[in-house]
Structure 1
């Protein structure tokens, strides 16, 4: 569904991504794990059009999308839940959700209700300002806002960052549920254990390169992965 070939990205004067190749099959959950600075977030930013690759190809459903604008990429069905959530604090929950559908011209009621069914807490706080929500609720809102574009692929950058363990488990339950409803997930996550438990396929990134590939289950028991990322 999404194919990245020999991708190189210079970011802040540094070659952050050094010729990586990987694929994201349709309706799968794929995770990129690695230390801070490995190039994971830069990879997502390149796919979403926020930074321009220096080399390589990005294909989505057989179409080259390398270097296209973020708006064009969202229109094609790829959306990003950014690190740090980046909700609009001075807008209500409902207004934040509607912003996620800014490219759409059709009615939004059914999709807003779908998001509220996924996240009942957001329904309860529909008219509350986004900035007054808890961290977990803001993450729910960021995911819900991304869903409002009706994506085929949802990319998620560190969805568990700064959240309590019980909230993290809830977020991963929602990731699985969204995937069951047919949305492909590309996930970056510092919590490598949760990410690999959830993912069909995992890629390990180190200093801009992919160094290991396998199923989530296989990487969970890989000695090098256990030593570097799982605290074992």
Structure 2
């Protein structure tokens, strides 16, 4: 289990995260929703050691992560799919996938086969430069690259950002598939409606603080959440 306790993060004297508590049980899907600048991405980046924290605690299976090298954190089974995908554009799809396994010394063949099974489009374009892929294909590649490290906890930062609705549905189907295979998911997502539908538990972040929490189903039916994040059309349809 991942546990965040009283996490505080500041940038230049400005508090981005203000003492939040979050738990991500093994085997669950947990989502963080909130407006841009709420502190969601900062939280994920803190977990993998990419952001220096002011105070608090982040433990995974009762082991403190704060102060640990990012490479060691990845070695514990925690992987981040960053916002904006950040594939290596001049490398091929296959080369990008191999980079995801840079810490491993064993054979990658079975993992590559499994990822191509999840994302047949990547197999079709295995020798194509990643920079020439569509946005949806690049997101598939970013997820596939993360999977090459064999994560136990997969964190995803805005996986549907900028993608067409049909592609978004496919990405969420993959998230659910990975979870059913035993991977714990911590998800940041602008599409609050879809995120809450698949989440076991959810937290709402507003200006660095958690203002609401509950099951995905509970927050989907919360009138204030509908008003702030789901839009008028969602309210009418509920």
Query: Could you state the TM-score of these two structures normalised by the residue count of structure 1?
Result: 0.99
- 2:28 alignment counterpart: 28
Look up the SS of the partner of 2:171 in the other structure: helix
- 2:177 alignment counterpart: 177
How far apart, CA to CA, are the structure 2 residues paired with 1:12 and 1:215?
Answer: 34
Q: Where in structure 2 are the equivalents of 1:34-113 lying within 5 Å?
A: 34-113=34-113
CA shift in 2, pair 1:12/1:104, >3 Å: farther
What's the CA shift string for 1:104-157, capped at 9, x where partnerless?
111100001111000000011100000000000000000000000000000000
Please list every run of at least 4 consecutive aligned residues from structure 1 whose deviation after the TM superposition is greater than 4 angstroms.
none
What's the CA shift string for 1:181-213, capped at 9, x where partnerless?
000000000100010011110100000000101
- 1:15 alignment counterpart: 15
- 2:236 alignment counterpart: none
- 1:126 alignment counterpart: 126
- 1:189 alignment counterpart: 189
How far apart, CA to CA, are the structure 2 residues paired with 1:166 and 1:13?
Answer: 42
- 2:199 alignment counterpart: 199
- 2:153 alignment counterpart: 153
Look up the SS of the partner of 2:7 in the other structure: strand
Q: 2:231 aligned with 1:231, yes or no?
A: yes
- Contact kept, 8 Å, 1:11 with 1:42, in 2: the verdict is no
Look up the SS of the partner of 1:177 in the other structure: helix
How far apart, CA to CA, are the structure 2 residues paired with 1:231 and 1:184?
Answer: 29
Instruction: Name stretches of at least 5 consecutive residues in structure 2 with no aligned partner.
Output: 233-238
Query: Could you state the TM-score of these two structures normalised by the residue count of structure 2?
Result: 0.96
Look up the SS of the partner of 1:230 in the other structure: helix
- 1:136 alignment counterpart: 136
CA shift in 2, pair 1:39/1:127, >3 Å: same
Q: CA RMSD in A?
A: 0.7
Q: 2:104 aligned with 1:115, yes or no?
A: no
What's the CA shift string for 1:8-45, capped at 9, x where partnerless?
01135421000000100000000000000000000000
Look up the SS of the partner of 2:231 in the other structure: coil
Instruction: Name stretches of at least 5 consecutive residues in structure 1 with no aligned partner.
Output: none
- Contact kept, 8 Å, 1:53 with 1:67, in 2: the verdict is no
Look up the SS of the partner of 1:20 in the other structure: strand
- 2:165 alignment counterpart: 165
Count how many residue pairs are aligned between Structure 1 and Structure 2. 232
How far apart, CA to CA, are the structure 2 residues paired with 1:106 and 1:179?
Answer: 24
How far apart, CA to CA, are the structure 2 residues paired with 1:192 and 1:124?
Answer: 32
